Structure 1
Amino acid sequence: MRTARTFACVALSLTDLAEKPVWGYAARTLSGAVTSAQGTGWLRLVAERPDKAYGKLWDGPKTAQECLPPRIPRPVLHQVHDWQAAGWAYRAELYQHADATVVSRSPVLAHDPVLPEAWWVELRAALDSLAEVPTERIAVSEEYIRRAVPAFTGRDVGEIEWATAHGDFHWSNLGGPALTVLDWEGWGRAPVGIDAAQLYVYSLRTPATAARVRQAFAPTLDIPAARVAELTICAQVLQAADRTPFYGELAGPVKKHLARITP
């Protein structure tokens, strides 16, 4: 990955500024600051086996740049460069450098953040705009929902209403104090309210922030259609609780929250 990052910098005429680039999950990505004649940017390198270098996750950032309105605050994707070497497919994505700092290093919030009121207003507006974007991409499949929700929550699913969502809307994908939404790999159709539900559930260890999320998204989370979204997020957490530490820490609060969701 380090060799591929060096190759990408040469191919895109970039100077690598990252002394300690950031590794993604399972070392699938490697990211860090770069500079060019146009100024400072952010280079994200993705690696995949060639027979898997396609589809939702591979093309998510590119299609987000092409399809989503600019009023959704996110780093601009300037350039994409693909190549293969030594049995791997690589994609280098050159982004605008975001000045914002991620709210939390962990997806699950452990401490209440200090965020301005304007951040919350813009967050709600961003999700409202996103929900209306037409797409055939799928963020969470109906097959998964109807299998996982009963298995891990003991609840029936019922009718599902759909909207366009980010699909991985947690605290380490949000920047502040000026709102920036990161990581658009998995965006697509999902149950109504799923992004707000994920942010709420991932805040359950910090009751003050959980209450703030609930207040900000009450028009979405308090409608009957959002019940499926909350159950889906709870199922995802409980499914992964025995293999991912931060989900394990969240499992207890999620089970308490499930008791409050209408059967």
Structure 2
Amino acid sequence: MALSVTRERDVDLRVESVEGGGGGLSRVEQGLEVEFDRATVVRKRRSVGARTDRGTWVRIERRQLSRLREHGWDGTECAEALTDIAKPQWLKSVAWKDLTDGAMWRADETTLLPGHPVGTAVLATGPQLPEEWWRDLNASLDALAGQRTARIATPDTELITQALVNRTIQAAFPARADTAIRTWVPAHADLNWANTTGPQFCLFDWEDWGNAPQGLDSASLLGASLAVPALADRVRRERHRDLESRDGKVMTLFVFAKFAGPNAHPGDPRVSVARQEAAQLIQELQAA
């Protein structure tokens, strides 16, 4: 007799019901023994979050089983072992398999953020951030890079490898340059303006962290800032040691390639700047 195979399907939690089904809010409430404030629910493509009645935050994530084989998904829990980084404290989690949908669900409970997200992932106007914010950003990223882990980062939920770096850059910027990575360090791997808080700095959403080429986080924040020249310049100054390193230049090409390649959105104000900077970076890598 043939065994039935559960067919995986892509789900966008911004439009799917989050009350019932395999990953319903009520199921998480029961598992974590909390009640959600429905007025605080935040819905993203692959996650849903809400504040609880005990003054904590719960993030619920759905991932296909096929992705778990390669990526894992306990990043928030594993990040609790990291030290000297401004981030929420992990408290508890529950996980379960949806037998009808080919997916795994996980809910992580953490302490509340000290403020609101600085903005959307990519900014169009400059935020008003105190000097202490930049100091804490630098301290956290430097502390993270100095630690050790066996995890491999998954930016955009894709395991980062040398082959991925080469393929991504070549597809967008086909000029020949040596993009071999020399130094791998722990990285958040999803550093953007929607995953940081202000005016007090805190870095959250640690699902994809792990070892990555040096400079990935700094390049990611730069890429999210290019539409605001003064903000991009500030990121360059603050993270110059990463961005001016050889691997940092490769990572900047990698980040820019994701939004400034041949299929770039015509309305993205970052594209022309990214392409100009990419041409300069390729020349520098060719000359090195």
> Which amino acid counterpart does residue 72 of structure 1 have in structure 2?
I
Counterpart-to-counterpart distance in 2, 1:54 and 1:77: 23
What amino acid sits opposite 1:133 in the alignment? Q
* Alignment map for 1:112-127 (pairs within 5 Å): 112-127=126-141
Q: 1:2 aligns with which of 14, 19, 24?
A: 19
| Alpha-carbon distance between aligned partners in 2 of 1:63 and 1:186, rounded to the nearest angstrom | 11
Contact 1:153 1:234 in 2 (8 A): no
Aligned counterpart, 1:31:
49
Matching residue within 72, 86, 106 for 2:85: 72
| Alignment gaps of 5+ in structure 2 | 1-17, 154-159
Query: Aligned-pair distance for 1:200?
Result: 1.2
Aligned counterpart for 1:58 among listed residues 62, 66, 73: 73
What letter matches 2:139 in structure 1?
A
Matching of residues 173-184 of structure 1 within 5 Å: 173-184=195-206
**Code of the aligned partner of 2:178:** V
**Is the 1:80–1:93 Cα contact (8 Å) retained in structure 2?**
yes
Q: Please, which runs of 5 or more residues in structure 1 have no aligned partner?
A: none
Aligned residue for 1:238?
A: 260
Instruction: Report if the CA contact (8 A) 1:241-1:251 is conserved.
Output: no
Aligned pairs (5 A) from 1:125-164? 125-139=139-153, 140-155=160-175, 156-160=177-181, 161-164=183-186
Deviations along 1:121-159, whole A, 9 cap, x unmatched?
111111111111212222221110111212212242343
Letter in 2 for 1:186: D
> Which one of 38, 42, 52 corresponds to residue 18 of structure 1?
38
Give the Cα separation in 2 of the matches to 1:240 and 1:90: 35
- 1:81 paired with 2:88, answer no
Q: Hey, what's the Cα distance between the residues in 2 that align with 1:130 and 1:110?
A: 28
Matches within 5 A, 1:40-59: 40-50=55-65, 52-53=67-68, 55-56=70-71, 58-59=73-74
Deviation of 1:52 after TM superposition, in Å, equals 4.4
Which has the larger share of strand? Answer: 1
Q: Distance in 2 between matches of 1:255 and 1:103?
A: 26
Structure-1-length-normalised TM-score: 0.88
Question: What is the CA–CA distance in structure 2 between the aligned matches of 1:79 and 1:54, rounded to whole Å?
Answer: 23
Please tell me the residue identity of whatever aligns with 1:68. L
* RMSD of aligned residue pairs (Cα, Å): 2.2
Larger radius of gyration: 2
Residues 218-233 of structure 1: pairs in structure 2 closer than 5 A: 218-233=240-255
The verdict on how the C-alpha distance between 1:239 and 1:196 changes in structure 2, with shifts beyond 3 A counting, is same
Q: Mapping of 1:88-107 within 5 angstroms?
A: 88-105=103-120, 107=121
The aligned length equals: 253
After superposition, the Cα gap between the structure-2 partners of 1:259 and 1:48, relative to the gap in structure 1 and judged at 3 Å, is: closer
**Aligned pair partner of 1:196 in 214, 218, 221:** 218
2:12 aligned partner = none
Cα gap change, 1:45 to 1:127, in 2 (>3 Å): same
